[in-house]
Amino acid sequence: MPEFEQWFAGRTAIVVGATGGIGSMIARELARRGAAVRMIARRADVLAGLASELTDIGADAEYRVVDVRDRAALTDAISAWASASILVNAAGMNRPGPMDALSAEDYDALLDTNVSAVYWASRAFVRARRENGEVGSIVNISSQMGHVGGDGRVAYCASKHAVEGLTKAMAVELAAEGWRVNSIAPTFVETELTADFLADPANREYALSGIPSGRLASAEDVAAAVAFIASDLSASTTGTSLLIDGGWVAK
Alpha helices in the chain (DSSP H): 21-32, 44-56, 71-80, 104-111, 117-131, 154-174, 195-199, 201-209, 219-230
Length of the chain, in residues = 251
Among the listed residues 63, 107, 119, 156, the single catalytic one is: 156
Contact by Cβ (8 Å): 101, 29: no
Q: Is residue 156 annotated as part of the catalytic site, yes or no? A: yes
Q: Tell me the backbone φ, ψ of residue 174, rounded to 5 degrees.
A: -100, -10
Under 8 Å between Cβ of 42 and 87:
no
- Tell me which residue of 136, 229, 123 sits closest to 177, measured CA to CA: 136
User: Looking at the annotation, which residues are catalytic?
Assistant: 156
